[in-house]
């Protein structure tokens, strides 16, 4: 192994992404933060991007900004509410005949102060962060299977490794804690990906899960608690990175030939807050097929969605 090869394996940047002309990326939460940065890099390398989000005006503004930065960027928008199974079904129908090469399950909510529910009655954080993306992935799977080598990149978080994320009381009906619900939803992202990798083995669709480290994005808009505000103020100078840097794990998972199905990737820097992406160990028990099957069965029961695997 020469020095150049060794360096490329230990230090990765988005500049190493090759030509993506002809490929289409569907990005939830694509109108801001990490999703927007992901779209910006992918379109710069030739991919077409579908920005999915709840607000058409914000989507249009994001698409306009991408085209301003790169006039030939191929960008479309799709109104999608991950808290509504009806909205997800509508998107699945719209893209039923298309080909999607890269699905980024990127959107998320965090630290909702009081328990609330989606339009389908699910606890909001778990409903959006996991169940919404579970149903969306199932709905877009036919489009993903049309690609010669598709990837599903689900964005989890460091909170998915916390002990508080134990997958019980999924709807937080017995007790609700804002960050506990978030941790639970982000562990579900990891467990779901590991189980999805087992079920899609041999199909040509490769599921990967990432955590972005720490960055100031719209995800922090619900950080109302005194403790959370103090933590952000204290850590921002040394830990909080930019959305551009936080998008690196997602981009690495989408483009690197080194990633493996079911793998968990995040920043290699201090405290995993920033830096070049690397493979990380799964949280204890997250790769257990029994836990994966339990989450899968419950997700199907709650959403009424079945995967065409």
Residues with a catalytic annotation lie at: 182
Degrees (nearest 5) of the Cα angle 218, 206, 247? 25
Cα–Cα distance, 299 to 150 (Å, whole number): 23
* Element spanning 39, H or E: helix 33-44
Phi, psi (5° rounding) for residue 76?
-125, 170
Task: Count the helix, strand and coil residues of the chain and give each as a percent rounded to the nearest 5.
Answer: 45, 15, 40
How do strand 205-210 and strand 264-267 relate by DSSP bridges?
A: parallel
Which spans in 70-220 are helix H? 85-94, 124-126, 133-145, 178-199
Q: Which residues on neighbouring strands pair with residue 210, listed in sequence order? A: 155, 265
CA distance to 89, 187, 265, 272, 304, per residue, from 213 (Å): 31, 15, 10, 6, 33
Q: How far is CA 244 from the centre of its chain?
A: 15
Degrees (nearest 5) of the Cα angle 117, 121, 122? 65
Going by C-beta distance under 8 Å and a sequence separation of 6 or more, which residues neighbour residue 175?
169
């Amino acid at each position: 192994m020469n020095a150049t090869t060794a360096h490329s394996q230990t230090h990765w940047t988005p500049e190493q992404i090759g030509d993506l002309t002809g490929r289409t990326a569907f990005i939830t939460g694509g109108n801001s933060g990490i999703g927007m940065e992901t779209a910006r890099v992918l379109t710069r390398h030739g991919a077409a991007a579908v920005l999915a989000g709840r607000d058409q005006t914000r989507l249009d503004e994001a698409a306009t900004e991408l085209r301003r930065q790169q006039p030939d960027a191929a960008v479309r928008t799709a109104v999608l509410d991950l808290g509504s199974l009806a909205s997800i079904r509508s998107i699945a129908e719209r893209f039923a005949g298309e080909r999607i090469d890269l699905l980024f399950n990127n959107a998320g909510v965090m630290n909702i102060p009081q328990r609330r529910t989606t339009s389908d009655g699910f606890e909001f954080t778990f409903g959006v962060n996991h169940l919404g993306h579970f149903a969306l992935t199932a709905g877009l799977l036919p489009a993903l299977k049309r690609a010669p080598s598709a990837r599903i990149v689900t964005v989890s978080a460091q909170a998915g490794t916390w002990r508080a994320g134990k997958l019980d009381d999924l709807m937080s009906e017995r007790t609700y804690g804002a960050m506990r619900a978030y941790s639970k939803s982000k562990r579900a992202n990891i467990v779901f990906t590991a189980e999805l990798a087992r079920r899609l083995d041999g199909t040509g669709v490769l599921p990967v899960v990432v955590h972005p480290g720490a960055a100031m994005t719209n995800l922090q808009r619900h950080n109302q608690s005194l403790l959370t505000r103090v933590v952000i103020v204290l850590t921002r100078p040394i830990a909080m990175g930019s959305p551009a840097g936080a998008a690196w794990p997602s981009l690495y998972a989408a483009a690197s030939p080194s990633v493996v199905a079911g793998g968990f990737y995040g920043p290699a820097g201090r405290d995993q807050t920033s830096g070049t992406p690397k493979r990380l160990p799964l949280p204890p028990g997250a790769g257990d097929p029994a836990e994966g099957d339990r989450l899968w069965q419950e997700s199907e029961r709650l959403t009424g969605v079945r995967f065409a695997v």
